[in-house]
Amino acid sequence: MNAVAGPAPLLFESQESRLAALDGLMRGLWLGGLTNAQGSVEARLAALAELRAALVAGELPPAEAWRWPPPAIARGLAEAMQSLELTRYCREEGELADTVLMSLLFHVDFIVDYLDRGADEARAVAMAVDAFAADWQDRCGDMDELADVFGMLPDEAKSTRFDRIRGLLRSEGWQEVVRIRRLLERLPELADLIRRLGRASETDEPDAAGRVTELAIEEATAHRAERSTVRVPDMPGETRGIHRADRVARMLPAEAMLLGHPRLRLVWHARRAERTLLCYEDDDRMQEIRRHEEAVQRPTPRPQPAKRLEMGPMLLCVDTSGSMRGGAEAVAKAAVLEAVRTAHAQKRACHVFTFGGPGEIVDMSLPVDADGIGRLARFLGQAFRGGTDVCGPIEAALAKLEEARWREADLVIVSDGEFGATPDVAARLRTMRNERGLRVQGVLVGDRETIGFLEVADDIFWVRDWRRYGGVDTESPLESNSLTARFFPGALRTQANRDSTTSGAKASAAVRAGRHRGDLENSPETSA
């Protein structure tokens, strides 16, 4: 009888089982975990896996529970990590936890070098722990600064690529970023406005600017008509038979014969009194309509405020002309920084167009990485100058809206309003509003709204005390920013004004035809 053969043993199974902990580690930890000079491979790999899981959970095991490194080293590292509060940074951040462990392996591996240089074991361990603590003390300060500016850590700050950002944090441009971040704390309304941009998702908040028609089911009273046929006896109509009655006009001829007899006429009178004369039976039919009231459920169209849309891409046009210098410049930079912060925190797309005079347009994509932070620092560190041409950036933004990625974007224009859009550009904006639902938010960093600003913006947010952000402690001398709309309403290219305005071509044709003002609208020559 043949026995059933078991599975053949693997040749290197026992050796490979020692490295099973590698499956739970990122590839960047493999080399340091396998080649470190302290401890054995099995204990080291198992300890790295346990430490990583604890850091991601926001916890730090006591040094006595560490399988690796040796207790003297583990106590020093645990104290350093506890004092730096590294668990606060690593919670739910696996990439940052991997970077911490790679740094730990790097500094622990230097202990043998310190011993070779003549240091005793205690001194070598202290030097390695101090180097690890000093490295992460600086890095934690930088991460706190980044988190304060951008609301959360950039991805490159969690990995070994952090050195690309560290140099930027020492630049003068970054100091301007930090200054603008402090400014945002004094402009909470501006930050809230930026967060509400975009049209990617519907909220529960009603939008007063938009209206939709909904069918509401409500109780109503309906009048229902019921038709019936009613028989009317003795009404001339259809002869149905013979019956006994007292109707002289409808009695049979045999009954009429009794009246001519001297004795039988008494019988006739008796029969008539008793209503027993033989008469023709006839009647008629009439249609009767009766109306009844009954309760019914009836759908009724009602205009309702549309739900507000937000959480979409953002396009910013920022005025960098010479008139924006001072406090207005600071507010414009704050708007850009808040847009970058919001886009990074909520995973939204953000693109900035800065504009000056004709042809002076700079478009920037500002992701929160080393390149994006560098571009942001350079922009926030520069001084504004030049003229003002708003048509170029608006046309660039409209071209951007044709792309699929930006179709649900809103447009923000930050300016002092000292500009004017051409009728063609204003018409293209109106078309985009009507057909695509584009919203144009204006941020007025000046004393009054202008005709140019009113024509391109759906809503204008007024930063009234913009002078204070440039070092001048004074408010706007004007009580309202709506002076143009109040005193010169006819100057605005609103729909009502456009409908009531006669074009130059129509006016010329009317003058040539000898017509007057009252004849202008009804003129066949001018109505074309």
- What does the pLDDT read at residue 278? 92
- What does the pLDDT read at residue 9? 53
pTM of the predicted model as reported, rounded to 2 decimal places: 0.65
Whole-number Å distance between alpha carbons of 386 and 359: 11
- What does the pLDDT read at residue 471? 62
> Each residue of 314-363: pLDDT tens digit?
899 999 888 888 888 888 888 999 888 888 888 888 999 999 888 888 88
Whole-number Å distance between alpha carbons of 505 and 489: 24
User: Among 51-55, 223-227, 405-409, where is mean pLDDT lowest?
Assistant: 223-227
- Cα 18 from chain centroid? 51
Considering the chain, tell me which residue range(s) the CATH 3.40.50.410 domain(s) occupy: 307-493
- What does the pLDDT read at residue 114? 92
- State what percent of residues in the chain have pLDDT above 70: 80
**What is the pLDDT confidence band of residue 372, given thresholds at 50, 70 and 90?**
confident
Burial class of 286 by CB neighbour count within 10 A (0 to 12, 13 to 18, 19+): exposed
**What is the pLDDT confidence band of residue 133, given thresholds at 50, 70 and 90?**
very high
Find all residues with CB under 8 Å of 334, minimum gap 6, and list them. Answer: 180, 183, 184, 187, 190, 469
Whole-number Å distance between alpha carbons of 455 and 413: 12
Whole-number Å distance between alpha carbons of 246 and 271: 8
Q: Which helix (H) or strand (E) holds 376?
A: helix 370-381
Check: CATH 3.40.50.410 for 307-493? yes
CA dihedral 52, 95, 101, 44 (to 10 degrees): 50
Looking at the DSSP bridge assignments, the partners of residue 355 are 319, 361
> Each residue of 282-321: pLDDT tens digit?
887 777 777 777 777 777 776 666 565 667 888 999 998 8
Whole-number Å distance between alpha carbons of 215 and 218: 9
Please check whether residue 459 is in contact with residue 444, taking contact to mean a CB–CB distance below 8 angstroms. no
- What does the pLDDT read at residue 59? 92
Average pLDDT over residues 470-492: 59
pLDDT value at 492 more than 70: no
Average pLDDT over residues 1-30: 65
- The pLDDT mean for the chain works out to 80
pLDDT value at 520 more than 50: no
From its phi and psi, is residue 517 left (phi > 0), alpha (psi between -120 and 50) or beta?
A: alpha
> Each residue of 217-264: pLDDT tens digit?
777 777 777 787 777 776 777 788 898 998 888 889 988 889 888 889
Please check whether residue 215 is in contact with residue 298, taking contact to mean a CB–CB distance below 8 angstroms. no
Looking at the DSSP bridge assignments, the partners of residue 410 are 314
Residue 279 exposure: Cα atoms within 13 Å on the Cβ side: 19
> Each residue of 143-178: pLDDT tens digit?
888 888 887 777 777 776 777 777 778 777 888 888
Looking at the DSSP bridge assignments, the partners of residue 350 are 314
- What does the pLDDT read at residue 481? 59
Average pLDDT over residues 392-405: 91
- Ranges of beta strands (E only) in 338-495 are 350-355, 361-365, 410-415, 440-444, 459-462
| C-beta atoms surrounding 373 within 10 Å | 27
**What is the pLDDT confidence band of residue 57, given thresholds at 50, 70 and 90?**
very high
First to last CA, the chain: 108
